[in-house]
Amino acid sequence: MKYFASVEGRTYEIAIDHHGQITVDGVAMAADMQPVSGRHLYSLLLDNTSHEVVLDTDEEGRNLYEVMVAGLRYQVKVQDERSRRLALADRSLKAPSGELAIKAPIPGLVVSVLVELNQEVAEGETLIILEAMKMENELRAPRAGAIREVRTESGAQVALGQVLVTLR
């Protein structure tokens, strides 16, 4: 499984194989993390160096963690490979003005189309719910605008990159 951890403007690629072997940015590391007394305290052994780690999770489901190591506090955002791909696809759709095609970031089944022709939408408003890999994904408006065209319907199978909605 691949994860991406972003801390202080840098993103680290972390891979964990089925044997528990860990690589960080392609470098193999020996790692073990065990809970210590208390809810948020862990003992982290990383390449034979022991660290005491305080880990607070984000209760709003944004995959943000407050991590304290050696008295220094860091905010870390963690994404799995699929979530990162979706976030990158969402960012690539953003445009300052003009017509904008909202495309399927992954192949899947359209569960629900929440907009209709000429409807005004706000930035971040959910347009379509797409089911892929047994997970529902909300496709949101990258900016405010009006729906110019709806090219799909509930129950439709869509391909990667297929235009679903056009925003003006």
Which token pair is 92? 């690539």
- CATH assignment of 2-80? 3.30.700.30
Q: What is the pLDDT of residues 15-74, one digit of tens each?
A: 988 877 899 999 999 888 888 877 788 888 888 888 888 877 766 666 788 887 877 888
Q: 15 near 22, Cβ under 8 Å?
A: yes
pLDDT number for residue 92:
56
Ordered by start, the domain boundaries in the chain are 2-80, 94-167
- Find the angle CA(168)-CA(116)-CA(163) to the nearest 5 degrees: 60
d(CA 5, CA 72): 17
d(CA 67, CA 73): 6
Among 49-63, 79-93, 136-150, the range with the most confident prediction by mean pLDDT is 136-150
Q: 30 near 46, Cβ under 8 Å?
A: yes
Topology of 94-167 in CATH? OB fold (Dihydrolipoamide Acetyltransferase, E2P) (2.40.50)
pLDDT number for residue 62:
66
Question: What is the mean pLDDT of the segment spanning 73-101?
Answer: 76
Of the listed ranges 86-90, 117-121, 124-128, the one predicted with least confidence: 86-90
The pTM assigned to this predicted structure is 0.50
Q: Report how far apart, in Å, the C-alpha atoms of 120 and of each of 113, 138, 141 are.
A: 14, 18, 11
